[in-house]
């Protein structure tokens, strides 16, 4: 087990990022993140690297306007 979702949650909480991480189909992971632009850039760099046993092959970044506001960072199913 790689622990990518737990890694993302830990990094998000350290930076004050809110949102969620969840597993999708075919080994993909979805992350929705809200926070200060500088903190989001740091978070993006960290999740590109991932934990030591992870293999991140691609990141797709989308900026969403007017979406739901989150109070914390959660791991979802």
Catalytic residues: 5, 23
Give the number of C-alpha atoms closer than 13 A to the C-alpha of residue 35, restricted to the C-beta side: 22
Q: Is 69 left (phi over 0), alpha (psi -120 to 50) or beta?
A: beta
């Amino acid at each position: 087990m790689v622990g990518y979702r737990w890694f993302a949650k830990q990094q998000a909480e350290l930076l004050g990022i809110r949102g969620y991480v969840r597993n999708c189909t075919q080994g993909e992971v979805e992350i929705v993140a809200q926070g200060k632009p500088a903190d989001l850039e740091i978070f993006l760099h960290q999740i590109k690297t991932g934990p030591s046993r992870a293999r991140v092959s691609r990141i797709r970044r989308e900026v969403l306007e007017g979406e739901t506001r989150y109070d914390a960072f959660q791991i979802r199913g």
